[in-house]
């Protein structure tokens, strides 16, 4: 059982490593776009082309279901062919990116020529992730929760006090402050976590 869990952990770690690398290379090739965003763009483009093909074939043969079937078969073959071309092009670009960063790192950071560039990318990714977490404290999460709690207290007190408008306004201000600070923290964390250049 321990061997199975160990094997699963190794697979998970390997998949996580590959995911980080794929995301990094995609950001370099797609001007900061994540691998998920790039995949969604390709899916959307594929659907648009497929619908256009269905409409075109349907105009020629006047049979909608046959048009859908032909377009689907054509789409599958084209996807396989284009994927093969894309992988060849992607692997070539990855080599270029690795060489570019190796030269840059050897000049600026003094890494040794035999050091694995992908290991460096992975390590920098987790370092930057930790830095982003540490900077996630414009005000601490505890203070944000307290502000929300204070907003609730102010608002309830407004119904019991002789000055309801004052307490309700204070409650709204506390709520807005907590929401603004929380949104700021989340935005900064996402921005730093998704920084295109992990090596800087």
Residue 188 binned pLDDT confidence (cut-offs 50, 70, 90): low
Highest mean pLDDT range out of 3-12, 105-114, 170-179, 187-196? Answer: 170-179
121/126 Cα distance (integer angstroms): 9
**DSSP codes of every residue in 99-163:** HHHHHHHHHHT---TTS-HHHHHHHHHHHHHHHHHHT--SS-HHHHHHHHHHHHHHHHHHHHSS-
Say whether pLDDT at 47 is over 70: yes
Between 89 and 195, whose confidence is greater?
Answer: 89
Say whether pLDDT at 199 is over 80: no
33/42 Cα distance (integer angstroms): 12
pTM for the predicted model, two decimal places: 0.54
Say whether pLDDT at 92 is over 60: yes
Residue 179 binned pLDDT confidence (cut-offs 50, 70, 90): confident
CA angle 45, 48, 53 (to 5 degrees): 125
What is the CA 140 to chain-centroid distance, rounded? 24
134/189 Cα distance (integer angstroms): 9
Confidence (pLDDT) at 116? 77
- φ, ψ at 85 (rounded to 5°): -65, -40
Confidence (pLDDT) at 164? 77
Say whether pLDDT at 135 is over 70: no
Tell me the mean pLDDT in the region 12-35: 78
36/186 Cα distance (integer angstroms): 19
Residue ranges per structural domain of the chain: 1-121, 135-200
């Amino acid at each position: 059982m321990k061997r199975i869990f160990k094997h699963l952990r190794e697979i998970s770690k390997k998949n996580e490593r590959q995911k980080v690398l794929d995301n990094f290379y995609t950001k370099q090739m797609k001007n900061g776009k994540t691998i998920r965003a790039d995949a969604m763009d390709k899916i959307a483009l594929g659907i648009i082309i497929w619908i256009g093909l269905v409409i075109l074939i349907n105009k020629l043969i006047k049979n909608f279901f046959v048009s859908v079937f032909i377009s689907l078969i054509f789409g599958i073959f084209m996807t396989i062919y284009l994927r093969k071309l894309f992988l060849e092009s992607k692997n070539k670009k990855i080599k270029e990116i690795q060489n570019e960063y190796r030269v840059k790192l050897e000049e600026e950071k003094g890494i040794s020529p035999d050091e694995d560039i992908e290991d460096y990318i992975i390590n920098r990714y987790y370092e930057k992730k930790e830095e982003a977490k540490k900077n996630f404290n414009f005000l601490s999460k505890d203070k944000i929760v307290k502000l929300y709690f204070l907003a609730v207290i102010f608002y309830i007190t407004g119904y019991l006090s002789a000055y309801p408008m004052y307490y309700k306004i204070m409650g709204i201000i506390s709520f807005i402050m907590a929401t603004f600070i929380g949104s700021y923290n989340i935005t900064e964390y996402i921005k730093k976590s998704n920084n295109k250049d992990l090596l800087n």
